[in-house]
Amino acid sequence: MSTGAIIAIVVVVLIVLALIAFLMPRMRAKSRERQLIRQRGEVADAHREQASNRAARAEEAEQIAARERAEAELHETRARMHERGLADDELTDDRERLDDGRFVREERTVRDERIEER
């Protein structure tokens, strides 16, 4: 092999090595940039999903609150009607509905229990 061919091969190898040394950091930077963009998208999607879930829960809570407000207004209206004497015919019904057994004490005797067992 001639000296010129060896020099040409060495020059080509040096050029290839220089290109690799110059292009590798750029290729890594682009790879990191693509990965960063992908991660940003994933995190943004996760935040959007969580925001959507919370918005749905907030909407449900607003509906429940509106129902509770309506019931409170209904009770307030009934209270005003009773105060004015406009709903005397409903007194016993309302009393039974409001008591609903929460404060009614059921007294049972030993005799009552024996009768039930038979």
Half-sphere exposure in the Cβ direction for 57 (13 Å, CA): 6
Asked if residue 66 belongs to a domain, the reply is: yes
**Residue 25 CB burial class (10 angstroms; 0-12, 13-18, ≥19):** exposed
pTM attached to this predicted model: 0.49
| Residue 58 reports pLDDT greater than 90 | yes
Asked if residue 80 belongs to a domain, the reply is: yes
Asked if residue 10 belongs to a domain, the reply is: yes
User: Structural domain tally of the chain?
Assistant: 1
Helix (H, G, I), strand (E, B) or coil at 34: helix
For 71-110, the pLDDT digits (tens) are 999 989 988 988 888 777 777 666 666 666 544 445 555 5
For 23-45, the pLDDT digits (tens) are 888 899 999 999 999 999 999 99
Q: Confidence band (pLDDT; 50, 70, 90) for 116?
A: low
Asked if residue 40 belongs to a domain, the reply is: yes
Q: State the residue range of the domain holding 33.
A: 3-87
